[in-house]
Amino acid sequence: MTSRFAPVLLLFRAAWRASPRDVVTVLVCDPLGRVAEPLVAVGVGVAVAGVLSASRPQQMLGVTLFVTALLLIHVLGTFGIAGRVRLEAETARTIDGWLIQAMLGLRTVDPLQDGVLRERVDRIRSRERVDLTGSAFGGLVLVLGAVLQFGLTVALLADVSLWLVLIPLLAVPALHWNARAFGAEDRADEKAGPLVSRAGVLVEHLMSPAGGLAARAGGAGVGLVRRAEELWDEAARHRDRGDRSAFGWTMAGTAIVSASVAAALGWTAWAAAAGRLGLPDLAVVIALTGQLGVVLGNLMQQTTRARRLLRVARDLDGVLGELRRQGAAPAAGTGRQAPPAGGALILSGLSYTYPGREVAAVRAVDLEIPPGSVVAMVGENGSGKTTLVKLMTGLLTPDSGEIQQGGMILTAGSRADWQQGVTALMQDFGRYELTVREGVALGDVEAAAERPELLAAACTKAGLDPDVERLPAGLDTQTGSRWSHGVDLSGGQWQKIALARSHLRQDWRLFLMDEPSSALDIEAEARLFDRFRELTAQCRAGGGVALFVSHRLAAAARADLIVVLDDGVIAQVGTPAELRNRPGPYQELSAIQESNYDLSGTLDPAAT
Ligand SMILES: Nc1ncnc2c1ncn2[C@@H]1O[C@H](COP(=O)(O)OP(=O)(O)OP(=O)(O)O)[C@@H](O)[C@H]1O
């Protein structure tokens, strides 16, 4: 029972949270406004009866009822619409906020490795869906209003003659056919939706500055546009088919409703001519049947919309529930207690397989890193380096095995505490289009606000100072080409900001850098690895562990320890000197790099 009504309750809660005043306005105004509509017919009936009986009070009563009903329709309608519009915008914001909170509540990115959940979240967060959920509560109230209006119309017709009740009952097949029309549209949408999403992704690439440039430079732009158009055309064909089928069913419904209205009018005229009904009844029936078409149309439209709204609400309820469950799953810890300083970092039997993949990205990894060490991790593309880094940050949860440092076991649940001792530069670092200062400050907002000298030191450690000096407003330069006064940065400069961000956090136990020099020029890279001397000193002093991933073996050679990954397993571990002298993958990689980067050949006089 609960799960059936949960989506409706969710919509109500969202609307109430957004604006209780507007919820009350909508709940009162919309249904009452609808109920006032049939009262117009009652007013007409009373006035006609008053004219026939020459009763002035009755005439006055009829006119008063008529005018009051019209006024109510107008005033309540105006307030209802205004309340609904305000409520729509506020509810959409509330729901979006819930989704963002639920996403942020995820302590790991495990659930998002599953494309299904990510796609569901994206769909719900799409503008169209957020607008739809925003209007859902108001939409359901409109159904309530339509049902009340229909019920009162039927009751008033029944008051004239029970035969007339048969007429609105013909609405039942019309509603049924309307549901079929809805089903046809829905099936078409299901087929067209993924095609439109695919086309959207292509267009997004084309419109984004980076993607657009690549497409233009590489000449892929025309191909992308053509592919997007093909996808749109295919989607339009599905929608056309759905629309044609829906049109057929809707027309059948409209025909039966029109026939029933005509039958009601015909029967009433016949009954009045035969003296079975008086003129006031005739007036009431004419006024009511005049409205009946609109009432039924309204009822069909609102129920169709309500189905759609309920489906979106069910999706939303499911996604929120799933995200909150996943967010609550690992014991969160206090987030204030980092692992004790000076302990070894120990990985034991660590394995991880991405959802939907059969082969593990990391398999049975055992590794012990003494405190105070700088470690380099090397290996071919896809050997599992980034996965291991993500496991160590606590962003992924291993399928088996555990990670511990200083006696604190990450995998035993104290994830927030663990992350208190981690600072990281990830391979896919964020490019936040803020000022440079704000972009760096994200690394530790409080520290940056309280001790600006730490932010300056972090920029220096990241080698950002020369770049900042060249920017028009230094650290306060707005970055990003989307802003009219924004400065677009080079890939290397973005990476240095990300590196500075990771240097801002003090008292780390584990400093992780996944390819920190991938976007740097040769000079900047050399300086970065030169500064590793300071990092080493910091590790020694604080008993922390710094681990960096690099394809540059010359850089790896400056580490205390090198870990070579191969196909998800540790192939070799040792000091640079040990690995240089030991046959194995490290020697092979060294040989390849030495031969490929040996520039002496081009300078060899014999060669020219
Ligand atoms: N989100 C993901 N979903 C499914 N498989 C993934 C995902 N991310 C990585 N993989 C797979 O896991 C394996 C290890 O990838 P990982 O990114 O850890 O390698 P890597 O050593 O860091 O590679 P590179 O040097 O290219 O950065 C690869 O086979 C990759 O295809």
Greatest Cα pair distance in the chain = 125
What's the pLDDT at 112? 77
Give 78-103 pLDDT, tens digit per residue: 999 999 999 988 988 898 888 888 88
Residue of 381, 426, 517 to test ligand 1 pocket, by largest number of atoms within 8 Å of CB: 381
SS3 content of the chain, % helix, strand, coil (to 5): 70, 10, 20
Residue nearest to atom 18 of ligand 1 (CA): 384
Q: Which two tokens stand for residue 449?
A: 């606000």
Q: What's the predicted TM-score (pTM) here?
A: 0.70
Rounded to whole angstroms, the Cα distance separating 442 from 291 reads: 61
Q: How far is the CA of 556 from the centre of ligand 1 (A)?
A: 21
Yes or no: say if 329 and 110 are a contact pair by the CB < 8 Å rule: no
Residues with Cβ within 8 Å of 410's Cβ and at least 6 positions away in sequence, in order, are: 392, 394, 402, 403, 404, 418
Smallest CA-to-CA distance from 304 within 474, 143, 453 is with 143
Yes or no: say if 386 and 109 are a contact pair by the CB < 8 Å rule: no
What's the pLDDT at 86? 92
Residue nearest to atom 29 of ligand 1 (CA): 382
Rounded to whole angstroms, the Cα distance separating 54 from 52 reads: 5
Query: Which carries the bigger pLDDT value, residue 364 or residue 6?
Result: 364
Question: Any idea which residue has 């009751």 for tokens?
Answer: 155
What's the pLDDT at 605? 42
Give the position, in ligand 1's atom list, of the atom nearest the Cα of 384.
18
Average pLDDT over residues 381-392: 94
Question: Which residues pair with residue 229 across a beta bridge?
Answer: none
What's the pLDDT at 357? 87
Average pLDDT over residues 463-479: 92
Comparing 60-64, 255-259, 302-306, 314-318, the range with the smallest average pLDDT is 302-306
How far does Cα 49 stand from its chain's mean position? Answer: 61
Model confidence at 145: pLDDT above 60: yes
What's the pLDDT at 606? 44
Model confidence at 607: pLDDT above 70: no
Name the percent of the chain lying above pLDDT 70: 93
* Residue length of the chain: 608
Smallest CA-to-CA distance from 175 within 148, 150, 138 is with 150
Q: What is the ipTM of this complex?
A: 0.98
Comparing 398-407, 408-417, 439-448, the range with the smallest average pLDDT is 408-417
Pocket of ligand 1 from Cβ distances under 6 Å: 113, 354, 357, 361, 379, 381-387, 427
Q: Is the dihedral of CA 160, 166, 172, 173 positive or negative?
A: negative
- The number of CA neighbours under 13 Å toward the Cβ of 386 is 12
Element (H, E) at 350: strand 345-352
Average pLDDT over residues 475-500: 88
Give the position, in ligand 1's atom list, of the atom nearest the Cα of 568.
14
Q: Which two tokens stand for residue 598?
A: 């040996």
Residues with Cβ within 8 Å of 394's Cβ and at least 6 positions away in sequence, in order, are: 107, 108, 410, 415, 418, 419, 422
How far does Cα 370 stand from its chain's mean position? Answer: 41
Rounded to whole angstroms, the Cα distance separating 279 from 284 reads: 9
Average pLDDT score, the chain: 85
- Please state whether beta strands 362-369 and 345-352 pair in parallel, antiparallel, or not at all (unpaired): antiparallel
Give 213-271 pLDDT, tens digit per residue: 666 666 677 778 888 899 999 999 999 999 999 899 988 888 888 888 888 888 888 88
Give the position, in ligand 1's atom list, of the atom nearest the Cα of 389.
18
Model confidence at 307: pLDDT above 50: yes
Question: Which residues pair with residue 478 across a beta bridge?
Answer: 435
Average pLDDT over residues 487-512: 90
Give the position, in ligand 1's atom list, of the atom nearest the Cα of 113.
1
